[in-house]
Amino acid sequence: MPDDHVLGVDGGGTWTRAVIMRLDGTVVGRGQAGPSNPITNGVEQALSNIIEAVNSAGQASGVEEFKASTLGLAGATRSHLGEEIYDRLPNSYGVTKIVSDAHSALAGATGCRPGVVVIAGTGSIAYGMNKKGEEARAGGWGWRLGDVGSGYAIGKNAIIAALKDHDQSGAPTKLKEMVMGHLGLSDMEEIIDWAYSPEREASHFASIVPLVKEAENRGDSVASFIMENAGTQLGLVAQAVIKRLQIDGGFPVACSGGVFKQPNRYNRAFEETVREVAQTCEFIEPLFTPTVGSALLALNSLDVEISDGLQVNVGKSIRWFDE
């Protein structure tokens, strides 16, 4: 029954995920499809992948109508393209809101409580909310205009470092051979055709991040500098949010996204930079995914309390799906 379920969607530059949740927090269906950032992928592809992910979750649960839905979409709240998607969503989604992917990430990370979330995936953004309910965000301008500390930025800087090695205008680095091997290049000169191809997307650059981490682990100083600098730059983005919200005390800072995995100099540089303005903040692992965060926001829109008991139901049902 639609009165018994809500829908949560999280869409970015790599994939789109959906969850269907009962009003008591029990997750009954999950689905996944391709990317749904309307700025980088276009409205048609974004809308198609959203619907595919939701339909997949619906098939798994047998639920196809919802009392409320929240879609956390990268790029959708800073462009008119988000409105185009909203206008074309099925009526079966019920009372629907489109928010930023960062808003969904914070809701999932803290269980809809105040704090700051910093996302470092293909792109990057920091978003926060204080106890007064005031919101602030920084970054999230997309790969052409920013996304410092993101997978895209790290991948791009790795290629630049490899080119400097090739030109002998920079320090030698293992990244040169590693990047060439990863991209299937026989000569570094071929990077021009690869980088400027009309089909090239930010996610292709972000796919290089594991190589940079590997090179760092192998003692490559250039790779270490790239990761450390990226962490510092993202820390400055988080600083901007903290200052604007005037957050005091031991508030949580949740780190979300693939770049934060496998702690290294990136993570340390990020945390050190944040603590310059927030010495007592608490770095936490997100309670739930941004997809679940979207579903919690949908529950919130129905005045459902995100209680500890409801969160227990979410956790139990998610673990059941993962078994």
Q: Which of 8, 32, 187, 200 is nearest to 107 (CA)?
A: 8
Q: For 72-100, write each residue's pLDDT tens digit.
A: 998 788 778 889 999 999 999 999 999 98
Task: State how far the Cα of 179 lies from the Cα of 191, in Å rounded to an integer.
Answer: 10
The whole-number pLDDT of residue 162 equals 97
Mean of per-residue pLDDT scores for the chain: 93
Q: What percent of the chain has pLDDT over 90?
A: 82
Q: For the CA atoms of 190, 194, 196, 202, what is the dihedral angle to 10 degrees?
A: -140
pTM: 0.85
Average pLDDT, stretch 230-259? 93
> What residue type is 251 in one-letter code?
F
The set of residues, in sequence order, having a beta carbon less than 8 Å from that of 9 and lying 6+ positions away, is 16, 17, 18, 50, 53, 54, 69, 70, 71, 72, 73, 291, 294
Strands 95-99 and 68-73: parallel
Task: State how far the Cα of 296 lies from the Cα of 312, in Å rounded to an integer.
Answer: 13
Q: For 126-185, write each residue's pLDDT tens digit.
A: 999 999 999 999 998 888 888 999 999 999 999 999 999 999 999 999 999 999 999 999
- Is 283 within 8 Å of 263 (Cβ atoms)? no
Quote the crossing angle between the two packed helices 209-217 and 151-167, to the nearest 10°. 60
pLDDT at 323 over 50: no
Q: Which of 35, 25, 61 is nearest to 288 (CA)?
A: 25
The set of residues, in sequence order, having a beta carbon less than 8 Å from that of 145 and lying 6+ positions away, is none
User: Could you tell me the domains of the chain?
Assistant: 2-111+288-322 (3.30.420.40), 151-284 (3.30.420.40)
Task: State how far the Cα of 106 lies from the Cα of 116, in Å rounded to an integer.
Answer: 7
